[in-house]
């Protein structure tokens, strides 16, 4: 079991820090299909650079390492109890070493276990098979894309698409709607797994199982093969684009499976996954516990675009067109500086910024802040942090999905005098109104680019609310060269609302039945 535990640790590290070859190729195909000078094109350039940085640093590709989910096939007679203990020990070690972010939170108290262990975490599914080897597959699916999972019960009425019946065309409409509703909040361009049938639980399980398929495989069911190809082609006509910036590439992969169902139930379940599609697997010799084979092609064998750094140097690394303005802001920021900004501007931040997620926003509604936030920047981020004798160090620090803070953000902006909020996926009308009334902006960073942004953080100045857990604590970070794009300004303009409206109109093009 000692060697088995080591093998599980190696699996976790590889999954968290190195995208497999099939995913890398899909990202490169998407990058080639996008205009390099657009916001989406340059976002993809930042993504490819981040993938390489994570591999080189052996650090998490994205700071949200999700809910570790293991699928284990064992020969008859294998000791699953000891295997579970070894997997849990490997998870604790990987968390301590900064390869996983501590993500296990008590649902009632909000307390973070600190080691990714707790009731239900990590997820471990065992199944016996007739082979001699042990097979272990792992997926790390972050909360941003997990929150965009969706399940439909047919027949149903869908926005822009009308009635979806209990047939292949109804399934088609559900999948197209699933991509539309995700917008940029799931870190598009992404991948989807679809489960047709089952009950509510097994339907979602089937959908997630599809994400373990190779991106380039061919569905043996002819109807599902045609549907996969249709969705991949037409979802990219919705114009949502990478990060929801608008563009040609919204979806990088679609995999569909089907199972039997009850006569009274017809579920279509969709598991959305971000571009940081972290899944890997190993075959293990049962006697020694050693890894004998890796199940997916190593990312080491598929280099990203060697021209990436030249592209980023020649244009703008924040994911906006090179023709956009670039403004350097030193914190604290004045209202006058903010009012001069408009959607599309690139902002380069220097000085101190402060992380804040769900727990902090809820707290600040009824309490004072521990520091003066007038003119400050709040970063929607739950970083991966490690501490040594020299203090705290940031190991990964990409943005989290901002829409969760919509109930709080506008009130907190005005209460504390905050001038800028950084996150991903945009925010809603309440925040947009507050930005206009108060004089603030929303800045969109590139979701998943945890290594790219970690390099912009020069120093950890301090931390408050460690009782919330590392991801939810308020970290005070000294940054230089932190680039993001204005997507909601103080004049009532929102790129996110514009893309949503445009993609909704395009969705209606797929209302009529299609006979695949």
Q: Indicate whether 333 and 377 sit together in one domain.
A: yes
How far, in Å, CA of 133 to CA of 73, rounded? 8
Q: Indicate whether 368 and 404 sit together in one domain.
A: yes
Q: Indicate whether 308 and 333 sit together in one domain.
A: no
pLDDT, tens digit, 9 for 90 and up, residues 481-513: 999 999 999 999 999 999 999 999 999 999 999
pLDDT, tens digit, 9 for 90 and up, residues 106-124: 999 999 999 999 999 999 9
Q: Give the percent of the chain with pLDDT over 70.
A: 96
257 in any annotated domain:
yes
pLDDT, tens digit, 9 for 90 and up, residues 295-336: 999 887 776 654 544 444 444 444 444 446 789 999 999 999
Give the angle subtended at the CA of 166 by the CAs of 232 and 256, to the nearest 5°: 30
Phi, psi for 69 (deg, rounded to 5): -125, 115
- What is the average pLDDT score of the chain? 94
Q: What CATH number has the domain bearing residue 433?
A: 3.20.130.10
510 in any annotated domain:
no
pLDDT of amino acid 507 = 98
127 in any annotated domain:
yes
Structural domain ending residue among the three candidates 210, 244, 273: 273
Q: What is the mean pLDDT of residues 380-387?
A: 97
515 in any annotated domain:
no
End-to-end CA distance of the chain: 50
Q: Indicate whether 372 and 405 sit together in one domain.
A: yes
pLDDT exceeds 60 at position 394: yes
pLDDT of amino acid 279 = 98
pLDDT of amino acid 304 = 66
Q: Indicate whether 479 and 467 sit together in one domain.
A: yes
Q: What is the mean pLDDT of residues 54-82?
A: 96
Q: Indicate whether 334 and 439 sit together in one domain.
A: yes
Structural domain ending residue among the three candidates 287, 317, 347: 317
Residue 402 DSSP label: G
pLDDT of amino acid 208 = 97
Q: Indicate whether 376 and 264 sit together in one domain.
A: no
351 in any annotated domain:
yes
Structural domain ending residue among the three candidates 246, 273, 300: 273
pLDDT, tens digit, 9 for 90 and up, residues 252-286: 999 999 999 999 999 999 999 999 999 999 999 99
Contact assessment for residue 173 and residue 164, using Cβ atoms and an 8 Å cutoff: yes
Most confident of the following: 32-46, 155-169, 297-311: 155-169
Q: Indicate whether 133 and 147 sit together in one domain.
A: no
**Structure tokens, 53:** 């940085």
pLDDT of amino acid 318 = 44
How far, in Å, CA of 270 to CA of 267, rounded? 10
Q: Where are the beta strands (DSSP E) in 69-177?
A: 69-74, 123-128, 134-140, 150-153, 156-158, 162-164
- Count of C-beta atoms within a 10 Å radius of residue 205: 15
pLDDT of amino acid 42 = 87
Q: Residue 59 is part of which domain span?
A: 1-142+279-317
pLDDT of amino acid 308 = 45
Q: Indicate whether 340 and 446 sit together in one domain.
A: yes
Q: Indicate whether 68 and 36 sit together in one domain.
A: yes
Q: Indicate whether 161 and 85 sit together in one domain.
A: no
Nearest to 377 by CA among 505, 478, 255: 478
Number of domains within the chain: 3
**What kind and span of H or E run contains 452?**
helix 450-454
* pTM of the predicted protein model: 0.94
pLDDT of amino acid 313 = 43
pLDDT exceeds 50 at position 516: yes
Q: Indicate whether 35 and 121 sit together in one domain.
A: yes
503 in any annotated domain:
no
pLDDT of amino acid 323 = 44
511 in any annotated domain:
no
């Amino acid at each position: 079991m000692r060697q088995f535990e080591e093998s599980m640790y190696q699996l976790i590290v590889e999954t968290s820090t190195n995208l497999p070859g099939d995913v890398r190729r899909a990202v490169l195909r998407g990058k080639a299909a996008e205009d390099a000078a657009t916001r989406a094109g340059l976002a993809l350039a930042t993504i490819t650079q981040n993938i390489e940085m994570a591999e080189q640093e052996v650090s998490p590709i994205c700071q949200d390492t999700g809910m570790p989910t293991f699928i284990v096939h064992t020969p008859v007679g294998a000791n699953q109890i000891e295997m579970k203990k070894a997997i849990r020990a490997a998870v604790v070690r990987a968390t301590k070493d900064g390869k996983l972010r501590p993500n296990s939170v008590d649902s009632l108290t909000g307390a973070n276990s600190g080691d990714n262990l707790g009731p239900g975490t990590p997820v471990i599914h065992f199944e016996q098979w007739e082979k001699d080897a042990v097979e272990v597959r792992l997926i790390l699916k972050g909360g941003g894309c997990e929150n965009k999972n969706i399940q439909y019960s047919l027949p149903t009425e869908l926005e822009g698409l009308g009635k979806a019946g209990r047939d292949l065309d109804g399934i088609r409409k559900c999948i197209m709607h699933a991509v539309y509703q995700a917008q940029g909040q799931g870190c598009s361009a992404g991948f989807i797994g679809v489960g047709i049938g089952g009950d509510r639980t097994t339907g979602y399980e089937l959908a997630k199982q599809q994400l373990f398929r190779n991106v380039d495989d061919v569905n043996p069911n002819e109807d599902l093969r045609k549907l996969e190809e249709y969705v991949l082609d037409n979802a990219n006509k919705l114009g949502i684009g990478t990060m929801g910036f608008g563009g040609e590439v919204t979806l990088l992969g679609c995999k569909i499976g089907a199972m039997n169902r009850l006569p009274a139930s017809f579920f279509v379940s969709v598991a959305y996954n971000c571009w940081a599609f972290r899944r890997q697997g190993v075959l293990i010799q049962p006697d020694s516990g050693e890894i004998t084979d890796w199940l997916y092609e190593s990312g080491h064998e598929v280099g990203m675009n060697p021209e990436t750094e030249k592209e980023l140097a020649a244009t703008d690394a924040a994911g906006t067109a090179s023709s956009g303005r670039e403004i350097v802001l030193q914190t604290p920021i004045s209202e006058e500086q903010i009012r001069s900004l408009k959607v599309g501007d690139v902002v380069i931040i220097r000085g101190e910024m402060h992380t804040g997620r769900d727990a902090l926003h809820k707290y600040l509604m009824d309490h004072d802040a521990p520091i003066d936030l007038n003119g400050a920047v709040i970063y929607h981020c739950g970083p991966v942090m490690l501490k040594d004798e020299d203090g705290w160090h940031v190991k990964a620090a990409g943005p989290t999905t901002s829409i969760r803070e919509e109930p709080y953000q506008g009130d907190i902006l005005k209460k504390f005098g905050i001038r800028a909020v950084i996150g991903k996926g945009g925010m809603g009308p309440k925040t947009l109104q507050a930005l206009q009334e108060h004089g603030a902006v929303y800045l969109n960073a590139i979701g998943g680019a945890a290594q790219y942004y970690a390099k912009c953080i020069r120093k950890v100045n301090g931390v408050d609310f460690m009782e919330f857990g590392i991801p939810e604590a308020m970290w005070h970070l000294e940054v230089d060269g932190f680039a993001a794009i204005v997507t909601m300004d103080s004049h009532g303009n929102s790129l996110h609302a514009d893309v949503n409206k445009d993609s909704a109109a395009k969705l209606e093009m797929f209302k009529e039945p299609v006979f695949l």
